[in-house]
Amino acid sequence: MKQVFKSSCPLNCWDSCGFDVTVENQKVIKVDGDKEHPITKGKICGRGRMLETKTNSPERLTVPLKKVNGVFQEISWEQALNEIAEKMDNIRNEFGPTAVLHSHDYSNNGLLKNLDKRFFRHFGGVTQLVGSICWGSGIEAQTWDFGNSYSHSPEDIKNSKHVVIWGRNVARTNMHLFQALQEVKKSGAKIIVIDPIYNATAKIAHKYISIKPGMDGLLAIGIMKYLISENMQDLSFIENHTVGFADLIDLLNQFSFDEIVTNTEISYEDLKQLAEVYYDGPTSTYIGLGMQRYANGGNTIRLIDALVAVSGNIGIPGGGANFGNLQVGQKFAHSELASLEQNAVIREFTMMEQGEKIIKAKNPEIKMIFVTCGNPLTQVPNTNKVRQAFSSVNTLVVVDHFLTDTAKVADYVLPTTTVFEEEDIYYASMYHHYVNYGAKLVEPPGEAKSDLWIWTQLAERLGFGEVFDYSIDEFLEMGLSLLKEHGITLERLKKEKRLPLPVYDVPWNSGDFLTPSGKFEFTSSYAEEKGMNGKPQYILPKESKLSNPALASKYPYQLLSIHPLRSNHSQHYHLIEGLQSVKIELSEDIASEKRIDEGDEVMIFNDRGKLTGTAKIMKKAHPKTINVDEGQWQQFGGSVNQLTPDENSDNGLGSVLYDCLVNIVKVN
Ligand X SMILES: Nc1nc2c(c(=O)[nH]1)N[C@H]1C(S)=C(S)[C@@H](COP(=O)(O)OP(=O)(O)OC[C@H]3O[C@@H](n4cnc5c(=O)[nH]c(N)nc54)[C@H](O)[C@@H]3O)O[C@H]1N2
Report the alpha-carbon distance of residue 191 to residue 160 in Å, rounded.
10
Q: Give me the least distance between CB of 326 and ligand SF4, in Å please.
A: 18
Q: Give me the least distance between CB of 426 and ligand SF4, in Å please.
A: 9
Q: Is 622 in the site for ligand X (CB under 6 A)?
A: no
In the complex, which residue's CB is closest to ligand SF4? Answer: 48
Sign of the CA dihedral running 209, 211, 216, 219? negative
Q: Is 213 in the site for ligand X (CB under 6 A)?
A: yes
413 touches, from Mo ion, ligand X, ligand SF4, none (C-beta below 5 to 8 Å by class): none
Length of the chain as a residue count: 668
Of 401 and 498, which CB lies nearer to ligand X in the complex structure? 401
213 touches, from ligand SF4, Mo ion, ligand X, none (C-beta below 5 to 8 Å by class): ligand X
Q: Give me the least distance between CB of 643 and ligand X, in Å please.
A: 8
List, in sequence order, the alpha helices (H) in 65-169.
77-95, 115-123, 136-146
Binding mask 567-586 for ligand X (x = CB under 6 A): -xxxx---------------
Q: Give me the least distance between CB of 316 and ligand X, in Å please.
A: 24
Of 10 and 318, which CB lies nearer to ligand X in the complex structure? 10
224 touches, from ligand SF4, ligand X, Mo ion, none (C-beta below 5 to 8 Å by class): none
- Helix, strand, coil percent values for the chain (each to nearest 5): 35, 20, 45
Q: Is 106 in the site for ligand X (CB under 6 A)?
A: yes
Q: Give me the least distance between CB of 511 and ligand X, in Å please.
A: 29
Left (φ > 0), alpha (ψ -120 to 50) or beta: where does 542 sit? alpha
Is the preceding omega at residue 364 within 30 degrees of 0, hence cis?
yes
Report the alpha-carbon distance of residue 54 to residue 45 in Å, rounded.
14
Of 148 and 379, which CB lies nearer to ligand X in the complex structure? 379
Give 657: exposed, middle or buried? Use CB within 10 Å, 0-12, 13-18, 19+.
buried
Q: Give me the least distance between CB of 432 and ligand X, in Å please.
A: 14
Q: Is 166 in the site for ligand X (CB under 6 A)?
A: yes
The SS3 of residue 2 is strand
Q: Is 379 in the site for ligand X (CB under 6 A)?
A: yes
Q: Give me the least distance between CB of 491 and ligand SF4, in Å please.
A: 25
Binding mask 405-434 for ligand X (x = CB under 6 A): -----------x------------------
Question: What is the contact surface with ligand SF4 in residues (CB under 6 A)?
Answer: 9, 11, 13, 15-17, 44-45, 47-48, 175, 568
Q: Give me the least distance between CB of 125 and ligand X, in Å please.
A: 21
Binding mask 229-268 for ligand X (x = CB under 6 A): ----------------------------------------
CA-wise closest residue to 585 among 620, 545, 535: 620
The answer to whether 376 and 349 are in contact (CB under 8 A) is no
Q: Is 653 in the site for Mo ion (CB under 5 A)?
A: no
Among 126, 134, 181, 490, binds Mo ion (CB under 5 A): 134
Paired sense of beta strands 65-68 and 412-415, if any:
antiparallel
Q: What is the DSSP letter of 367?
A: -
Q: Give me the least distance between CB of 438 and ligand X, in Å please.
A: 12
The answer to whether 365 and 144 are in contact (CB under 8 A) is no
Tell me the site size for Mo ion, rule CB under 5 A. Answer: 1
Report the alpha-carbon distance of residue 239 to residue 253 in Å, rounded.
20
The answer to whether 201 and 171 are in contact (CB under 8 A) is yes
Stretch that binds ligand X, among 35-43, 475-483, 497-505, 557-565 (CB under 6 A): 557-565
Q: In sequence order, what are the residues at sequence separation of 6 or more whose Cβ sits closer than 8 angstroms to the Cβ of residue 91?
A: 97, 99, 100, 367, 368
Report the alpha-carbon distance of residue 450 to residue 98 in Å, rounded.
25
Letter string b/e over residues 161-172, b meaning 16 or more CB atoms within 10 A of that residue's CB: bbbbbbbbbbbb
Stretch that binds Mo ion, among 128-136, 206-214, 457-465, 659-667 (CB under 5 A): 128-136
Q: Is 129 in the site for ligand X (CB under 6 A)?
A: no
322 touches, from ligand SF4, Mo ion, ligand X, none (C-beta below 5 to 8 Å by class): none
Amino acid (1-letter code) at residue 314: I
Q: In sequence order, what are the residues at sequence separation of 6 or more whose Cβ sits closer than 8 angstroms to the Cβ of residue 444?
A: 417, 418, 421, 422
C-alpha neighbours within 13 Å on the C-beta side of residue 35: 1
Q: Give me the least distance between CB of 414 and ligand X, in Å please.
A: 8
What residues numbered 145-164 form the site for ligand X, per CB under 6 A? none
Of 80 and 175, which CB lies nearer to ligand SF4 in the complex structure? 175
Among 338, 439, 552, 565, binds ligand X (CB under 6 A): 565
| Angle, helix 216-229 to helix 257-264, in steps of 10 degrees | 150
Of 381 and 507, which CB lies nearer to ligand X in the complex structure? 381
Among 5, 6, 9, 13, binds ligand X (CB under 6 A): 13
| Angle, helix 297-310 to helix 216-229, in steps of 10 degrees | 20
The answer to whether 83 and 351 are in contact (CB under 8 A) is no
Tell me the site size for ligand X, rule CB under 6 A. Answer: 56
Q: Is 375 in the site for ligand X (CB under 6 A)?
A: yes
Report the alpha-carbon distance of residue 192 to residue 205 in Å, rounded.
6
Q: Give me the least distance between CB of 181 and ligand SF4, in Å please.
A: 15
What residues numbered 467-496 form the site for ligand X, per CB under 6 A? none
Q: What is the DSSP letter of 577?
A: G
The answer to whether 320 and 244 are in contact (CB under 8 A) is no
Of 50 and 248, which CB lies nearer to ligand X in the complex structure? 50
Q: Give me the least distance between CB of 45 and ligand SF4, in Å please.
A: 3
Q: Give me the least distance between CB of 172 and ligand SF4, in Å please.
A: 10
Letter string b/e over residues 592-607, b meaning 16 or more CB atoms within 10 A of that residue's CB: eebebeeebebebbbe
Among 149, 313, 644, 649, binds ligand X (CB under 6 A): 644
Q: Is 307 in the site for ligand X (CB under 6 A)?
A: no
**Residues engaged in binding Mo ion (CB under 5 A):** 134
Contact set with ligand X (CB under 6 A): 12-14, 105-108, 133-134, 166-169, 172-173, 194-197, 199, 211, 213-214, 216, 288-291, 372-375, 379, 399-402, 404, 416, 451, 560-565, 568-571, 630, 640-641, 644, 657-658
